[in-house]
Amino acid sequence: MLNHIISMKDFSRDEIDIILSRAKEFEPVARGKRSEMLSGKILATLFYEPSTRTRMSFETAMKRLGGEVIDLGSIESSSIVKGENLADTIRVIGNYADAIALRHPREGAARMASEFSKVPIINAGDGAGHHPTQTMLDLYTIMRESSLSGLRIALVGDLKYGRTVHSLAYALSLYHADVTLVSPAQLKMPEVIKKDLKKQGAVVRETTSIEDVIGDVDVLYVTRIQKERFPDPAEYQKVAGVYRVTEELLKKACENLIIMHPLPRVDEIDPAVDKTRFARYFEQSFYGVPVRMALLAMAMETV
Ligand code: NCD
């Protein structure tokens, strides 16, 4: 069995805990200590959608572990424009690399790719579907900067199209977190995910207002409205800018609140918040490196 990383639904809490504790061991390497653990290994990055953090933190993780990265580059400069399908592209890249990090606009693409691949597929985001490696780093951030036990968390913003919150919601149910979903009515968490969460015994509340929850949560997880996923630009305009976290709003926050965001942010967090004691989104983006080290080591079976 290959160690594909496709969805948080495939992980038990014990497996996640092992990954988080391995990530902790990798933190010094993420900060620059030399390691050759993945020497001789090659990761291929195959991104059909834009990315800054995910692609670059995978690359950093691989290189700081002594491994190498090959990157497809822009889709326009690859044979994909000649009409090559995903299955063939995956079959070919599997001849070159020891694992493939794939980001694709179509939901289910990573799962489909795993059926054709002879090397592990790491889902780096499949449309509005899942983003499991982001969730691992989100959990790690909570573990390092707050606490996963007795956690009260609000997921804010685009819960309909946001893949980070879909994956995170599944994982939070394994930690019995108290989850409040905050979104405009048009961008609610899909029913199928809520049903799954309830089946796992999670208590999930919903509201449209951050003010309702800001005084009662340990983590405020803010997301961008996913403009590119709206079938109709006019619909996006109706919800653009609905939430904005400001210093004023934070006057009502719990003493130990932390604010997270998978980034990129557009206008949902006022830059003035960056210097407050609440902000953790830039630390969060750093934690992507040790967490992806742990995931790469697992996928490539070196630990
Ligand atoms: C997220 C994504 O691509 O889903 N970004 C990321 O990987 N850090 C969030 C987003 O694009 O809004």
Question: Is the shortest distance between the CB of 124 and ligand 1 below 6 Å?
Answer: no
What confidence tier does 74 reach under pLDDT thresholds 50, 70, 90? confident
Question: Is residue 303's pLDDT more than 70?
Answer: no
Question: Is residue 273's pLDDT more than 90?
Answer: yes
Give residue 163 CA to ligand 1 midpoint distance, Å: 8
- The string of DSSP codes covering 255-280 is TT-EEE--S--SSSB-GGGGGSTTB-
Question: What is the reported pLDDT for 298?
Answer: 95
What confidence tier does 78 reach under pLDDT thresholds 50, 70, 90? confident
Note the pLDDT tens digit of each residue in 32-71: 999 999 999 999 999 999 999 999 999 999 999 999 999 9
Catalytic positions are 53-54, 82, 103, 131
Q: Residue 172 has what DSSP assignment?
A: H
Question: Is the shortest distance between the CB of 157 and ligand 1 below 6 Å?
Answer: no
Round the average pLDDT of the chain to a whole number and report it. Answer: 96
Q: Please state, in angstroms and rounded to a whole number, the distance separating the CA atoms of residues 52 and 194.
A: 30
Element (H, E) at 42: strand 42-47
Residue labelled with tokens 């997880």:
221
Element (H, E) at 229: none
**pLDDT > 90 in the chain, percent:** 92
Tell me the CB-side half-sphere exposure of residue 47, using CA atoms within 13 A: 18
What confidence tier does 81 reach under pLDDT thresholds 50, 70, 90? confident
Cis previous bond, 271, omega within 30: no
Note the pLDDT tens digit of each residue in 150-175: 999 999 999 999 999 999 999 999 99
Q: Which of 8, 45, 48, 54 to mutate to test the pocket of ligand 1 (most atoms within 8 A of CB)?
A: 54
Note the pLDDT tens digit of each residue in 133-143: 999 999 999 99
Question: What is the reported pLDDT for 254?
Answer: 95
Question: Is the shortest distance between the CB of 224 and ligand 1 below 6 Å?
Answer: yes
Residue nearest to atom 1 of ligand 1 (CA): 262
Note the pLDDT tens digit of each residue in 181-200: 999 999 999 999 999 888 88
Question: Is residue 2's pLDDT more than 90?
Answer: no
Question: Is residue 1's pLDDT more than 80?
Answer: no
206 neighbors 179 (Cβ within 8 angstroms): no
Q: CA 100 from chain center: how many Å?
A: 17
Element (H, E) at 173: helix 163-174
Question: Is the shortest distance between the CB of 53 and ligand 1 below 6 Å?
Answer: yes
Element (H, E) at 124: strand 121-126
Q: Please state, in angstroms and rounded to a whole number, the distance separating the CA atoms of residues 135 and 132.
A: 5
Q: 214 in helix, strand or coil?
A: helix
What confidence tier does 302 reach under pLDDT thresholds 50, 70, 90? low
Ligand 1 atom at minimal distance to the Cα of residue 223: 12
Question: What is the reported pLDDT for 301?
Answer: 80
Question: Is the shortest distance between the CB of 166 and ligand 1 below 6 Å?
Answer: no
Q: Which of 49, 58, 131 to mutate to test the pocket of ligand 1 (most atoms within 8 A of CB)?
A: 131
